[in-house]
Structure formats: C-alpha cells, structure tokens
Homo-oligomer: A and B are copies of this chain.
Amino acid sequence: MMVDEGLELLEDDDCFELLSLQSIGRVALTMGALPVVFPVNYKLDGRTIVFRTGPGAKLAAAANRAVIAFEVDESDPAVHSGWSVLALGVASLVDDPGELERLDRLEVSAWAGGNRQSLVKVPVEMISGRRILTSERE
C-alpha cells in the first residue's frame, strides 16, 4: 500500500470502482484564468465520465476541448474517514448520433431543470485517489 502523509494512495482500478458507485462529482476548469468548480450528476461509461450541461462554462470547455478535472469524494464526519478521486481528461461534446443514442441509454440526467441537453464526455487520461487512514489516528 502506498501512503502519503496519512493518506492511502489508491490504485487506478479502485479509483474507477469508486467513480462508478457515485452519481455526483465536481467539474473544475479554468475560466478567464480563474479556477471554477461546479457539481454535476454524472455516469461512468467504461473509463469515460459523461454528464449533461447547458450553455455556460462547462459547455464552452467541452466545445474547446479543454482539460478538466473531475473530483468525487465521500466522507463520514462521525469517524473522520473519507476518500477522494481526481480524474483528468479532455472534455468534448458528444455529437455523433450513434454515440448519443448509446449514451442516452445510460440515462445521464441533470437534477436542475433548464436547458441541459448537451452531453459532455471526458475520457479519463489520469486518475488518482486517496483514502484517509483512520487506523493511524488511533
């Protein structure tokens, strides 16, 4: 087990497993030289993150094929445990009709209403994960 400053470093497969179990992640990107972060509902398609969005920063990032960071975490305040996974990839709009049809079957939805019809995919190119070593604290 790799350990870094009280955190267990997770294997890639474990990171994807954790990603597959959650439904809300956070997209971080750079907008006008400033970092911004927005939560999204997502699905994992193999090793690709898929989410819906409407006009705005996330859509612009996808249209421009920007590198985005995608973060998912879970924590339990009662026992001070938790983990986080950080994925990086180039975002792009899904516009191929066949791919759109296939990904539609994943039922990627956005909880917020409004015009969130565009489907964005982020094939993960780098992934890392950390888990708090609670046993070390005792």
Measured CB to CB, the residues of A under 8 A from B are: 4-7, 23-24, 26, 28-30, 34-39, 54-56, 67-69, 71, 73, 75, 77, 80-82, 84, 86, 88, 111-116, 130, 132-133, 136-137
Q: Which of B71, B82, B115 contacts A37 (CB 8 A)?
A: B71
The answer to whether B35 touches A81, judged by C-beta atoms less than 8 angstroms apart, is: no
Contact yes or no, A37 B75, CB < 8 A:
no
- Are B71 and A5 touching (Cβ within 8 A)? no
Q: Which of B39, B54, B113 contacts A133 (CB 8 A)?
A: B113
Q: Which residue of B lies closest to A67 (CB)?
A: B34
The 3 closest A-B pairs by CB, nearest first: A5-B114, A6-B113, A6-B114
If A30-B30, A112-B133 touch, whether A73 touches B39 (CB-CB below 8 Å) is yes
- The reply to whether B35 and A111 contact each other, CB–CB distance below 8 Å, is no
**For the complex, what is the distance from the CA of A2 to the CA of B33, rounded to whole Å?**
26
- Contact yes or no, A86 B137, CB < 8 A: no
Contact A39 B75 (CB under 8 A): yes
